[in-house]
Structure 1
């Protein structure tokens, strides 16, 4: 017997399933914020969380956490996490420390890495 469409949204062990685009309310990027993968996010306060995802982000960011680690811990796509972080930043609930720019890598270093990989 085929499943009815309303049954597609329920997982027996997880309960109702919410699609990532619904979590971000259909947005794929935030209008005013762009987050680097290595930028560190830290909670500026717990009040003002509007969704369970907001609350979880603020809980995880009690100590500085990179955007990449946060996406992994939340098991959400990076794009969705960036949208949610933008919303929290707009409301003053998080602080963001940009990753320092890495110095350019010299040609000799890249050659050594390639040589090392070939030697494996």
Structure 2
């Protein structure tokens, strides 16, 4: 059994116990076909609504942040908040890759800071 199977099956069982999904068919080799329940559909819509609301609040916060703080860094702040929105849309499978990219970005920014300090 692969690592994805060890993760996927307990998750499917949990979703089924929470009445979010149900088995609609058992295929060849005991392969289960799942479908969202009506409760699962409602829950998914709520999650999507919260996600949209969260994104809208982030945009308001970004605009306030840019207004309150220095205008000369507004492009950087906009990019910072845009990164947050992109991270929210990533699948968990990409978390490690995204973390490595962000860590490299932080290292590069620190290098810029130390270069500026060294020239003073």
| Higher RCO, Cα 8 Å, sep 6+ | 1
Higher helix share: 2
TM-score of the superposition, structure 1-length normalised? 0.21
TM-score of the superposition, structure 2-length normalised? 0.21
